Chains A and B, each alone.
Chain A
Amino acid sequence: MANRTDPAAKSIRGTNPQNLVEKIVRSKIYQNTYWKEQCFGLTAETLVDKAMELDHIGGTHGGTRRPTPFICLILKMLQIQPEKDIVVEFIKNDDYKYVRVLGAFYLRLTGTDIDVYRYLEPLYNDYRKLRMQSADGKFVLTHVDEVIDELLTKDYACDIAMPRVKKRWTLESHGILEPRKSVLEDDFEEEEEKEENEQMDGVENGGNDEKDYHHGRSPTRERDRDRRPDSHRYRFASYLLQIGIRFIFGSRWWLNCFLQDRDYDRDYDRDRGRGRDRDRDRDRDRDRDRDRYRLRDEKDYGRERDRDRDREREGRDRERRGRDRGGGRRRSPSRSRSRSRDRKRRRSPSPRKNEAEETKKKEKKTSEKKEKKDDGTDHPDPEIAEANRIRASLGLKPLK
């Protein structure tokens, strides 16, 4: 009785709205104590209270796939089918971020394409942190705009399959939607201009940043980082286009930066437009990341960086000349430069850790190369070759 959909509810996508959640997950929710105790006889108003008590999002977790309260409330909403106004209110409310995400999720499941884009895209500007429980039970940090991005781009979230929505450009070409204008677009263009200007100056303003680094993350920086988690995507595209040739400090280093999102965000906030400083900051970031809990010898660090700075300036001039002459990427100057910097970094306060990372990186590179050559797809036995091909596509090592 408690699990039956409201008879007055209309069918969604041709079926009982509760069928949007798959049978197995649905049964798991029905057997869950949170559902049985808290979600019994909920109405739209009391649902709001329950939603305000949420403190994490997620699908199912653990070996037996226990559902989270979030997903129980989603099923409850599907069962009682609140009005669209109520859902929009959920989304518009600013105080409770989990209520917002709950509303957004429900709208993504039940709303029309236009509604989905119209109501969910403003939420891209919400940068607040969320706690998400992953499938193995651990809690991970995510942000509201990341979750919204998942909802709009992926077709599976929180163990619920998302219904298909039309692509944005289809709606744009029909004139139903406006092309998307990001709030960050103006900031982004400003920064691009600033970068180009300030790179020519070559003023070294490292002093202030130094102090900040040594004292750990300042609260303002935290806020900045929280405020702009999406900018790194645009930043990276811009780098590739404009500055890719200039900042060729070894592709590994780029890979490193790209993989370490945290460093990336930190870079953006601090180095708005200070190209030179950005390089230095990246070096420092790597060191700092590694040595965060170690005492630092500030004098040595300053000296190191001065030397780095000079080396980099030389390198950059060399680079520029090279670029003017030949254009395109030159591996050797960058490689030697990065090697000299590696040696420099090794002498910094945490030599052992640096070395370990360097060797690990080198190993990874060589092993990657090796795997590409003999990942077993050229095995004489066709079955094994086939199996190895599947394994390679999944990212696993070949069969032994």
Chain B
Amino acid sequence: MLEVVLNDRLGKKVRVKCNEDDTIGDLKKLVAAQTGTKAEKIRIQKWYTIYKDHITLADYEIHDGMGLELYYN
């Protein structure tokens, strides 16, 4: 289990608990549940790498406490 921090630099900063084998799509659903935006509208990035929905967090090497950028589609 790990905790990821999503920040959109406009005031929304959420901490989400998830598993390593969750996909990015699942993470978006969790973020949507916490922030209230729709999951399809969320985009998770790291600098210019847009994270794809079907790849797991472990494959993206996202560890506990890591910060990700939250953007909107």
Q: Which residues of A contact B (CB under 8 A)?
A: 24-25, 60, 63-65, 135-136, 156, 159, 383-384, 387, 390-391, 393-394, 396-397, 399-400
With contacts A63-B52, A135-B40 known, is A24 near B73, CB below 8 A?
A: yes
- Name the B residues within 8 Å of A396 (CB-CB): 22, 26, 29-30
Q: Which residues of B contact A (CB under 8 A)?
A: 1, 17-20, 22, 26, 29-30, 33-34, 38, 40-41, 43, 50, 52-54, 72-73
Question: Are A400 and B1 in contact, with the CB atoms below 8 A?
Answer: yes
- Name the B residues within 8 Å of A384 (CB-CB): 17
Partner of B30, one of A136, A156, A391: A391
Complex A-B: 18 CB contacts under 8 Å: A24-B72, A24-B73, A60-B73, A63-B50, A65-B73, A136-B53, A136-B54, A383-B17, A390-B33, A391-B30, A394-B29, A394-B30, A394-B33, A396-B29, A399-B1, A399-B19, A400-B1, A400-B19
Partner of A399, one of B17, B34, B54: B17
- Name the B residues within 8 Å of A156 (CB-CB): 38
Within the complex, the shortest CB–CB distance from A160 to chain B, in Å, comes to 12
- Name the B residues within 8 Å of A159 (CB-CB): 40
Q: Which residue of B lies closest to A161 (CB)?
A: B38
Within the complex, the shortest CB–CB distance from A390 to chain B, in Å, comes to 5
- Name the A residues within 8 Å of B54 (CB-CB): 136
Partner of B17, one of A24, A64, A65, A387: A387
- Name the A residues within 8 Å of B26 (CB-CB): 394, 396
- Name the A residues within 8 Å of B38 (CB-CB): 156
Within the complex, the shortest CB–CB distance from B4 to chain A, in Å, comes to 12
19 further A-B pairs in the complex, CB-CB below 8 A; given A65-B73, A383-B17, A399-B19: A24-B72, A25-B73, A63-B50, A63-B52, A136-B53, A136-B54, A156-B38, A159-B40, A390-B33, A390-B34, A393-B33, A394-B30, A394-B33, A396-B30, A399-B1, A399-B17, A399-B18, A400-B1, A400-B19
Within the complex, the shortest CB–CB distance from A24 to chain B, in Å, comes to 6
Q: How far is the CA of A396 from the CA of B17 in the complex (A)?
A: 12
Within the complex, the shortest CB–CB distance from A31 to chain B, in Å, comes to 14
Q: How far is the CA of A149 from the CA of B29 in the complex (A)?
A: 25
Q: Which residue of A lies closest to B18 (CB)?
A: A399
Within the complex, the shortest CB–CB distance from A60 to chain B, in Å, comes to 7
Q: How far is the CA of A384 from the CA of B26 in the complex (A)?
A: 17
Q: Which residue of B lies closest to A136 (CB)?
A: B53
Within the complex, the shortest CB–CB distance from B45 to chain A, in Å, comes to 9
- Name the A residues within 8 Å of B20 (CB-CB): 400
- Name the B residues within 8 Å of A383 (CB-CB): 17
